[in-house]
């Protein structure tokens, strides 16, 4: 366990924050081989045993917020707390075996200099090991386990992001030795974000925008692009069509680094879109509690029991900003949520005016 801690990132003097390394295929294969050799060494020792697999805990209780000392930039990290996968525990035995099977498959993929999506990986494992893999969620969790065990990125394992994301507006994109893509000229569908993370990493980007607007919903994104809101408000629009995939998050991260002076604003439902504004350095533009006066009461939607459970869990989180906690408290007390589409009560062209007014007034948190 002590050796596993050495690759952690020291944070001040009292905390160690973990990170996933971006590695070349030979380096990942070497880590897999070391894991196998350590397992065999313990298994064939004078006091043989089947060792547990030490994984960095991914629970919210293991998260910490790191705030920059000289800037307002902040990051969410996992600290050096561990959980295990054990063959000795009946309820964890299959999960233990899945980790080894995924590592074996990743070693094979990297040895062939290939890349696969998690969906492709699922069907391969389903055919090869049907007793251990019966659903996509099992593969997804196991890939996360392998990342937590080997301390390397998912892409380093040879697993590509399957992107749903789109970008539009005042942004020029160019891959090395390729033509320039003008994201303002891609129609209301926008420009599809590549699932190849190395391609996103190598993008050359230029913009004259003043804002980056993250749009939770695909239909809202299409409305804003069709209305060419990015000309009225010089901006870049980006959406993941719901919960953000890795490729869309990486492009947003790249833009935040390339254009550090541009505020990143989120247009999301008053509730379901909260995943987005919880990301570091993203400001919540709307819909928020003070926008409810713009929405007819009959357009508000009752919170489901699961919504209330998630809200209470978020409210207890140490990394939640106080103004977000106040929004959640209001949601729970009202027992209702509001969707962006409810603003169409004022007309289909109202969204652009709504965004412009809030930006001019700096009405975001």
Active site residues: 123
Contact call for residues 198 and 258 (beta carbons, < 8 A): no
**302 exposure class (CB count in 10 Å sphere: 0-12, 13-18, 19+):** exposed
Instruction: Provide the 10 A C-beta neighbour count for residue 60.
Output: 15
H or E element that contains 59:
none
Q: Is the dihedral of CA 59, 256, 244, 251 positive or negative?
A: negative
Give φ, ψ of 83 to 5 degrees: -120, 175
Scored b (16 or more CB within 10 A) or e, 83-94 reads: bebbbeeeebee
Please list, in sequence order, all residues whose beta carbon lies within 8 angstroms of the beta carbon of residue 202, skipping any fewer than 6 positions away. Answer: 175, 176
Full 3-state SS string of 162-173 = CCCCEEEECCEE
CA distance 314 to 216: 19
Count how many residues are written for the chain. 365
> Strand, helix or coil at 34?
helix
If we measure between CA atoms, which residue out of 167, 145, 166 comes closest to residue 154?
Answer: 145
Q: Which of 50, 62, 7 is nearest to 31 (CA)?
A: 7
H or E segment to which residue 96 belongs: helix 93-111
* 132 neighbors 101 (Cβ within 8 angstroms): yes
SS3 22: coil
Q: How far apart are the first and last CA of the chain?
A: 41
């Amino acid at each position: 366990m002590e050796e596993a801690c050495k690759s952690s990132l020291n944070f001040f003097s009292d905390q160690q924050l973990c990170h996933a390394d971006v590695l070349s295929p030979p380096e990942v294969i070497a880590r897999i081989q070391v894991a196998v050799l350590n397992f065999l060494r313990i298994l064939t020792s004078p006091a043989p045993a089947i060792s547990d697999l030490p994984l960095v805990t991914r629970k919210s209780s293991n998260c910490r917020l790191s705030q920059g000392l000289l800037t307002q930039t902040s990051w969410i990290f996992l600290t050096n707390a561990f959980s295990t996968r054990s063959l000795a525990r009946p309820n964890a035995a299959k999960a233990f075996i899945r980790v080894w099977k995924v590592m074996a498959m990743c070693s094979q993929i990297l040895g062939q200099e290939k890349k696969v999506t998690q969906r492709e990986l699922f069907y391969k494992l389903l055919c090869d090991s049907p007793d251990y893999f019966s659903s996509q969620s099992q593969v997804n969790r196991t890939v996360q386990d392998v990342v937590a065990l080997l301390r390397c990125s998912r892409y380093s394992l040879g697993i590509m992001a399957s992107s749903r994301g789109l970008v539009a507006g005042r942004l020029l994109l160019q891959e090395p030795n390729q033509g320039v893509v003008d994201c303002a000229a891609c129609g209301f569908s926008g420009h599809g974000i590549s699932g190849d993370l190395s391609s996103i990493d190598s993008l050359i980007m230029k913009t004259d925008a003043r804002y980056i607007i993250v749009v939770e919903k695909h239909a809202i994104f299409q409305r804003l692009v069709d209305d060419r809101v990015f000309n009225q408000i010089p901006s870049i629009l980006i959406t993941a069509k719901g919960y953000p995939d890795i490729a869309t998050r990486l492009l947003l991260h790249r833009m935040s680094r390339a254009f550090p002076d541009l505020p990143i604003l989120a247009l999301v439902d008053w509730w379901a879109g909260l995943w987005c504004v919880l990301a570091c350095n993203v400001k919540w533009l709307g819909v928020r509690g003070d926008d409810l006066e713009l929405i007819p009461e009959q357009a508000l939607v009752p919170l489901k029991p699961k919504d209330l459970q998630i809200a209470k869990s978020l409210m207890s989180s140490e990394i939640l900003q106080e103004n977000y906690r106040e929004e959640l408290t209001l949601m729970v007390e009202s027992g209702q949520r509001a969707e962006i589409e409810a603003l169409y009560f004022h007309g289909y062209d109202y969204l652009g005016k709504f965004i412009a007014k809030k930006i001019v007034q700096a009405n975001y948190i």
